[in-house]
Structure 1
Amino acid sequence: MPNTVQEAKRYLNNAKEILREKARKEDGYYQDKKYVKLAGHAAYTGVLVALDALFDEKSKKRKDVDWYKERLSKMDKKVLNAFNGAYDTLHLAMGYDGNPISDVSKAGLETAESIINWVETRTAVA
């Protein structure tokens, strides 16, 4: 199980590195949407990898966002709220729209990190 949480953290670290090294932040805005999008996708993937580890999901078939929401709603409403925020911020605002506001990316990455850390504590107890 730790390997999957480690994999999730690797995705998150890649997202941070993409923003830091390639997106060119100036005055609180990223100058290159392409890299904001890549970072958003990487961080969101990290969240999904962590949740798949928690739910012990080995299937390679694609699951929609409602699949995750349904499971989280039965476990922890606070994390469900964080997941909804991660979906909106990482997947939609960053991943699709390339939102250039650096504080949006920062909040999204912090949310992703909190979900991954939550999963890590849940899987450490199991």
Structure 2
Amino acid sequence: MTKKSIANLLPPREEAARYLENAKQILSEKAGKKDDLYADVKYVKMAAGTAYSAALLILDEYLKQKEGLKFIKPKSIEDYTSRVRKYDKKLLRLLVDVYDELHIIGYYHGTRSVNTIQLGLENVRQMLTYI
């Protein structure tokens, strides 16, 4: 079996944890840090996108567990937030924070702030406890 086919066999929690670990690895090996700022925004954006993907995997699994056969994959952040709101307010707050820290500030704007990205990664780690 190839690495790709092995990854597809992982349970959702382990797959999301793998994405999160990949994001941390990208930051530590490629982004470079100096004075609490990342040196290479390209790799910060890549890591932020990978970590945000982990959050979406977590949310998909969480909603599958809650909705069962009625589950349909959300198509927008608004869909995710409205559906998560029905079940857990703390997870909703984590989702909103991760969306801002990793997707908007990290991925789209390409922040160099170590603190912002690390906070986003920690919030994704907390989200893992929900599945």
* TM-score (normalised: structure 2): 0.83
Structure 1 residue 82, shift from structure 2 partner: 1.0
Moved over 2 A (4+): none
- Counterpart among 111, 125, 130 of residue 99 in structure 1: 111
What does 1:8-47 align with in structure 2 at a 5 Å threshold? 8-47=16-55
Where does structure 1 lack aligned partners over 5 or more consecutive residues? 121-126
What does 1:59-98 align with in structure 2 at a 5 Å threshold? 59=73, 63-98=75-110
Where does structure 2 lack aligned partners over 5 or more consecutive residues? 1-9, 65-70
Structure 1 residue 97, shift from structure 2 partner: 1.1
State the structure with more CA Rg: 2
Q: Report the identity percentage.
A: 38
Structure 1 residue 58, shift from structure 2 partner: 6.5
Residue type at the aligned position of 1:88: D
The number of aligned residues is 116
